Amino acid sequence: MARPGPLRSLLLAGASTLVLSAVKAPHAAAQSVDYGALEQVFGEPVTTSATGKPQKVSEAPVTMEIITQDDIRRSGADNLPDVLQFVSGVDVRRDAFGDADVGIRGYNQAANPHLLVLVNGRQVYFDDYGVVAWNTIPVELDEIRQIEIVKGPNSALFGFNAASGVINIITYDPLGDSVNSVTAQTGTQSLAEGSAITTVHAYDVAGLRISAGGYLASEFYHPDAYGQVPEPERGSLSADGKAKLAPGVELELSASKSSSQTYNEIPAGILLSENWRTNSVGTQLAADTQYGLINLNAYHNGLAFDLPLLHSPETDDVYVVQASDLFKLSADHTLRVGVEYRNNTGQSSATSIFGGTIGYSLWAGSLMWNWDITPDLSLTNAVRVDSVFLGKSGPTVFGPYLPNGLTLADYDRSFTAESFNSGLVYKVTDRDTLRLMAARGLQAPSLVDFGYVVNGNPDVNPTIVGNYELGYDRDVPGLGSTLRTSLFYQTQTDVIGGLYDERPVLTPIGPVGLIDNIGSSHELGLELGVKGHSESGFRWFANYSFASVTDDLAIARTDPPTTNLDYQHGTPEHTVKFGGGYSIGKWEFDSAARWESSWTDYKLFVPVLPPGTPLLSAVRVANYLSINARIGYKLTERLTLSGTAEQFNQARIVTSNGLPTERRFLAKITAQF
């Protein structure tokens, strides 16, 4: 579909030079990651995501928080957005029972395009609409070892589209870990949910984990729903296997399928029924050699998506090949060089209102340098260059002309974009750590932005996200707590407009608009948080987030509104989250609360009313408090009962322009074997 370009030879040559330079360098001494052993050594969860080396969160050159499996279990949540909602700086807006949008540090919106979500290094962000469909992620909560939330732009360290942040989901290792469990859950909204996970090993050289899960439920109350409202459902099946081929050499194979039916808010500001079917297959080879730790990763993500009301079945196929080498030049200098190729193609069926095929190929090269200047001071710099080659082919439902007035030749376009991350970490004392960071990240245009639909524009540019940040961590051993603070300033230039923000043009089929870059926005933010536990069984957390966003967009702000792109008024300025728990004997008690200040969302009037009637109306989301609680009891060492009350303080809360979020009661039984 989309062709590779001349950057290929440059990237490969650069990679070869850097790899060969390591031949005479000391051995990288890198091993496959045993998170369990590292947690025991460090006394807390660790990460290898930022630099490739095991690090405590406070020592990583990024602002990161880690949710452990214990945190997931004690939350009582049965889906990923609800697990994430109590992390500082994370904004969760729920539009329906099975649909939610997750943002980091503001800029959340329907079908949020700013966030990169990974499962064991594989992207689960969909390039067609630029969205994460959380209900389709083929991972069961019980098989997750930890979730890493990385805040701010991190494109150079984590890759494609890590604009506002990264959520990195790490499952248990099928070779080193053994997870065997069955869960069954029921509750309000007619919920029937279950999952099963099993792991088998062939001595100590191979392991395979298989998981399956799903649910059936009834939708939240929907008095103003438009069109048919489906009953939400989800099903998934995945397999992950790993084998030792030789000392220091491991091969991993994975495959998954999922299906989901949801009621979802699309970027146009309307709730519609959506059907999703995904499939993925991938392989990863890791070799610990005298030239460093070499990783080869390749995967394919397939998506079949349909909006039944609009008769628009579509498919999206993404092929990704990545190669990297992590090695030491000396005891204090570690390098990681990487290359990546991806091909992304979206196609609409003959019955779709869109029609045609669009896609691009991308070549990228990256380099990370970590310098341990002293035992207490380290510097990490990373750069990445992405070159994109775009193309489009017909036929389309509009004949020889595209609906935006362009011809297919106008999509023969290429461009290059750069990103970087830089982090200085200074351990002032054994208890105090300072981090100074600067970054430039990229929000890639989606296929819709480029021209998958009638108002796409092949000349739209990536949004450039800049971030400047000061972080401070302090351990308080006497209270078993860690205090974390971050002060940051973020900028967004070349903001990509939405459905109502286009530049109007005259075409052979009449006036239409083009998606375009429409201005800039900036944010001043502060995050304060504390988390701790005691040997007596108590645990607690509290955090506060402040976000002040100012837009400078080339669109008029009118009343009634003519645009639903409004980061300035669409971001809660103040958010407070707190909670605690206690374990005694066979009992666990946990509770958590979330309060956020008011903000503004927008809704589309459908069907279209008589001429002169505004298309959009503002929806004021008033400040609200939501409180959850969970009780767990271990019947035996292998059997646990639990009950969860979500939002028990209010029957219904408006958390977006979607359906009001309802109170939920859940009962769950988990068997481990």
3-class DSSP string for 412-442: CEEEEEEEEEEEEEEECCCCEEEEEEEEEEE
CA-closest candidate to residue 477, choices 44, 27, 13, 33: 44
Q: In DSSP terms, which residues pair with 338 in a beta bridge?
A: 324, 366
**Cα gap 60→494, rounded to integer Å:** 30
| Mean pLDDT for the stretch of residues 48-58 | 84
24 pLDDT above the threshold of 60: no
pLDDT at 403: 53
User: pLDDT band at residue 602, thresholds of 50, 70 and 90?
Assistant: confident
Torsion angles phi and psi, residue 73, rounded to 5:
-60, -45
353-357, 503-507, 590-594: least confident range: 503-507
pLDDT at 456: 77
Torsion angles phi and psi, residue 408, rounded to 5:
-60, -30
Percent of the chain with pLDDT over 70: 84
pLDDT at 126: 85
416 pLDDT above the threshold of 70: yes
395 pLDDT above the threshold of 90: no
pLDDT at 419: 95
What's the sign of the alpha-carbon dihedral 653, 655, 659, 663?
Answer: negative
**DSSP, res 496:** B
User: pLDDT band at residue 515, thresholds of 50, 70 and 90?
Assistant: confident
161-175, 394-408, 441-455, 491-505: least confident range: 394-408
Angle (CA) 204 209 212, round 5°: 170
Global model pTM greater than 0.75: yes
The 10s digit of each residue's pLDDT in 181-225 is 999 999 999 999 999 999 999 988 999 999 999 999 999 988 766
**Cα gap 432→58, rounded to integer Å:** 9
Q: In DSSP terms, which residues pair with 145 in a beta bridge?
A: none
pLDDT at 414: 92
22 pLDDT above the threshold of 80: no
142-151, 572-581, 607-616: least confident range: 607-616
The 10s digit of each residue's pLDDT in 310-331 is 656 688 999 999 999 999 999 9
Cα radius of gyration rounded to whole Å, the chain: 24
Highest mean pLDDT among 72-86, 297-311, 559-573: 72-86
Taking the alpha carbons at both ends of the chain, their separation in whole angstroms is: 48
Quick check: helix, strand or coil at residue 98? Answer: coil
**Cα gap 355→399, rounded to integer Å:** 10
Total length of the chain: 673
Domains of the chain and any CATH numbers: 7-672 (2.40.170.20)
Torsion angles phi and psi, residue 205, rounded to 5:
-115, -10
pLDDT at 601: 87
| Mean pLDDT for the stretch of residues 451-457 | 74
**Cα gap 269→24, rounded to integer Å:** 58
Q: In DSSP terms, which residues pair with 116 in a beta bridge?
A: 166
| Mean pLDDT for the stretch of residues 138-149 | 95
Neighbours of 170 (CB within 10 A): 21
More confident residue, 607 or 349: 349
| Mean pLDDT for the stretch of residues 294-321 | 86
**Cα gap 128→446, rounded to integer Å:** 6
User: Is-contact 142 182, C-beta < 8 A?
Assistant: no
**Cα gap 106→102, rounded to integer Å:** 10
pLDDT at 3: 42
pLDDT at 330: 92
Residues 6+ positions from 41 with CB-CB distance below 8 Å: none
Torsion angles phi and psi, residue 28, rounded to 5:
-70, -25
31 pLDDT above the threshold of 60: no
**Peptide bond before 113: cis, by omega within 30 degrees of 0?**
no
265 pLDDT above the threshold of 90: no
443 pLDDT above the threshold of 60: yes
Strands 481-493 and 463-476: antiparallel
**Cα gap 315→278, rounded to integer Å:** 10
CA-closest candidate to residue 156, choices 459, 390, 417, 517: 417
| Mean pLDDT for the stretch of residues 97-112 | 87
pLDDT at 19: 35
pLDDT at 354: 56
360 pLDDT above the threshold of 80: yes
pLDDT at 165: 92
User: pLDDT band at residue 13, thresholds of 50, 70 and 90?
Assistant: very low
| Mean pLDDT for the stretch of residues 456-479 | 91
The runs of H, that is alpha helices, within 409-479 are: 447
CA-closest candidate to residue 404, choices 355, 449, 455: 455
2-16, 161-175, 481-495: least confident range: 2-16
| Mean pLDDT for the stretch of residues 282-311 | 89
Percent of the chain with pLDDT over 90: 60
User: Is-contact 436 421, C-beta < 8 A?
Assistant: no
**Cα gap 566→519, rounded to integer Å:** 12
Amino acid letter at 188? T
Q: Tokens representing 531? A: 């988390």
Q: In DSSP terms, which residues pair with 362 in a beta bridge?
A: 342, 388
Q: Report the mean per-residue pLDDT for the chain.
A: 86
397 pLDDT above the threshold of 90: no
175 pLDDT above the threshold of 80: yes
